[in-house]
Copies of this chain bind each other. A is one copy, B any other.
Amino acid sequence: MHLTPETLADHDRNYRRNFYNTLPGPRGVHLIGTKGHRGTENLGVFSSVVHLGASPALLGFHLRPLTVPRHTYHHLKAQGWFTLNTLHPAILQQGHQTSANYELKTSEFAATGLTPEYSELCKAPYVQESQVKIGLTLEEEHYIRANDTYFIVGRIRELFVPEAAVLEDGHVDHEQLQTLAVTGLDTYLRVADGERLPYARP
């Protein structure tokens, strides 16, 4: 089936949103934790986290989250810290519920029953129940003119990972951790049958 933005314009807004959102395939899904200058804790679901480099250790994400964008962005700017927390089946329902459109003063932790957890270093809350938790500082923000959104670059300052899931050569085994992936806004998937291929040479 050959489609263009022009032929897709015949469909309604919902159809197009579903279509474009699911089109590129499965991707990672994370809860991003922030804290406002008045102390309000915020959690939102994001499906745009990208590995940017190991030296320095950088991750990026696109700030048009499934939940209300303004809270995460304002908190990020106010405090300069955020956390990335993975999802697994035991917390899927609660994790997805954080995408509801809560008021700014409502903490998604309190609303969904997930537990905020703090380290000595990181000023933003972690999700205690998550398997992999990463604490980052805001490093750069890039304004995407084409649709008035942001690409945020964060620098990893600390992290928590179950020791048994880290293989001898540094690989983190997400099949073992049951880390979920997502397509679109609402379809969560398990990953399975991992196949590790050798380094490719010409």
Contacts and interface: CB of A to CB of B under 8 A. Distances in A.
A151 B139 CA distance: 14
Interface string A148-168: 010101011111111100100
Interface in A49-71: 49-60, 62, 64
A192 to B, nearest CB: 5
| Copies of this chain assembled into the complex | 2
Given A25-B132, A54-B21, A111-B202, A189 B192 contact: yes
Residue among A49, A93, A174 having the largest count of chain B Cβ atoms under 10 Å: A174
B26 A179 contact: yes
Contacts of A151: 60, 142, 151
Nearest to A193: B190
12 contacts: A14-B169, A16-B170, A20-B54, A23-B134, A24-B132, A25-B30, A25-B179, A26-B174, A53-B147, A60-B151, A92-B197, A189-B193
